[in-house]
C-alpha cells in the first residue's frame, strides 16, 4: 500500500463538504489545547495580529463562564424540593398510622367486624402512598401548582389522628 492510499484511508472527512462537522468546533479552544498555537499561516508569517488573536481567544475565568441558572431552573428545583418534602410527609404519615394502629385494639362481636376493621387499618396505612401515587399520575400534564395543591390537600386530610390525639392526651 503506498503512502497516498494510507493517507486517504485515514482521512475522515472533507472539510469543504457542507455536511462535514468538525468535532472539536464546539469545544473552547483551551480545551482542545490549541489556544495559544494559532494557525499554520500565523506561525509561518510571525504575524503580531495573530498573536493578539490567539491571546484574545484564550478563555478568561470569570463568573460569567460558570453555568447560569435561569429562573425556570430555580422554579423547577423549588417544585421538586416541595414535592420531595410532601413525599417525606406522606412517609411519616404512613409510619404514624402504623404506630397508632398498633396501640388501638378492637375485639369485634363477630369475625366480619374484625376483618373489616383490620382492612380499614390496612387502608389507613397505605392511604398516604396511594394518594401520593394518584396525584403524581393524574396531574402529570397539569401545572405544578395544581399538583402541589392536591398534595397539600392530602397532607391535611391524611393526618394520623389517633397518634396525634394519643400524644396530646
10-residue mean pLDDT profile of the chain (169 residues): values are 67 65 59 50 52 52 62 90 95 92 79 90 94 95 93 94 81
Say if residue 58 is in the same domain as residue 98. Answer: no
Q: Is 154 part of any domain? A: yes
Give yes or no for a contact between 117 and 79, defined as CB atoms under 8 angstroms apart.
no
Domains contained in the chain, number: 2
Q: Does residue 41 belong to any structural domain of this protein?
A: yes
**Is 117 in the same domain as 148?**
yes
118 and 79 belong to one structural domain: yes
125 and 51 inside one domain? no
Phi then psi for 154, rounded to 5 degrees? -65, -35
Domain membership of residue 5 (yes or no) is no
Q: Are residues 42 and 113 in the same domain?
A: no
Does the residue 6 lie in any domain?
Answer: no
Residue 144: exposure state from Cβ atoms within 10 A (0-12, 13-18, ≥19): middle
**Confidence (pLDDT) at 72:** 86
Please report the pLDDT score of residue 18 as a whole number.
66
Residue 4: inside a domain, yes or no? Answer: no
Do 54 and 88 lie in a common domain? no
Residue 155 CB coordination number (10 Å): 18
One domain for residues 17 and 57: yes
What is the reported pLDDT for 153?
A: 96
Could you tell me if 35 and 93 lie in one domain?
A: no
Instruction: Print the domain residue range for 45.
Output: 13-63
Q: What is the pLDDT of residue 100?
A: 87
From 63, 80, 102, give the residue that closes a domain: 63
Q: Is residue 93 situated within a structural domain?
A: yes
pLDDT of residue 134: 96
Q: Are residues 57 and 78 in the same domain?
A: no
Same domain for 149 and 84: yes
- CA distances from residue 105 to 109, 121, 122 in whole angstroms, order as listed: 13, 11, 14
Query: What pLDDT is recorded for position 119?
Result: 93
Please give the model's pTM, rounded to 2 decimal places: 0.56
| pLDDT, position 107 | 75
Q: Are residues 151 and 104 in the same domain?
A: yes
Domain identity same for 81 and 164: yes
Q: Give domain status of residue 1, yes or no.
A: no
Amino acid at each position: 500500500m503506498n503512502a497516498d492510499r494510507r493517507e486517504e484511508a485515514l482521512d475522515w472527512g472533507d472539510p469543504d463538504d457542507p455536511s462535514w462537522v468538525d468535532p472539536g468546533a464546539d469545544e473552547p479552544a483551551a480545551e482542545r489545547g490549541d489556544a495559544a498555537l494559532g494557525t499554520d499561516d500565523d506561525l509561518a508569517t510571525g504575524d503580531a495580529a495573530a498573536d493578539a488573536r490567539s491571546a484574545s481567544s484564550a478563555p478568561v475565568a470569570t463568573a460569567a463562564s460558570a453555568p447560569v441558572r435561569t429562573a425556570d431552573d430555580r422554579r423547577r428545583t423549588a417544585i421538586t424540593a416541595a414535592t420531595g418534602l410532601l413525599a417525606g410527609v406522606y412517609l411519616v404519615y404512613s409510619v404514624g398510622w402504623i404506630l397508632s394502629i398498633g396501640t388501638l385494639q378492637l375485639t369485634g362481636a363477630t369475625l366480619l367486624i374484625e376483618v373489616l376493621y383490620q382492612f380499614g387499618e390496612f387502608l389507613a396505612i397505605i392511604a398516604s402512598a396511594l394518594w401520593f401515587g394518584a396525584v403524581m399520575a393524574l396531574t402529570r400534564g397539569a401545572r405544578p401548582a395544581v399538583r402541589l395543591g392536591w398534595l397539600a390537600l392530602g397532607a391535611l386530610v391524611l393526618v394520623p389522628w389517633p397518634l396525634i390525639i394519643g400524644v396530646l392526651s
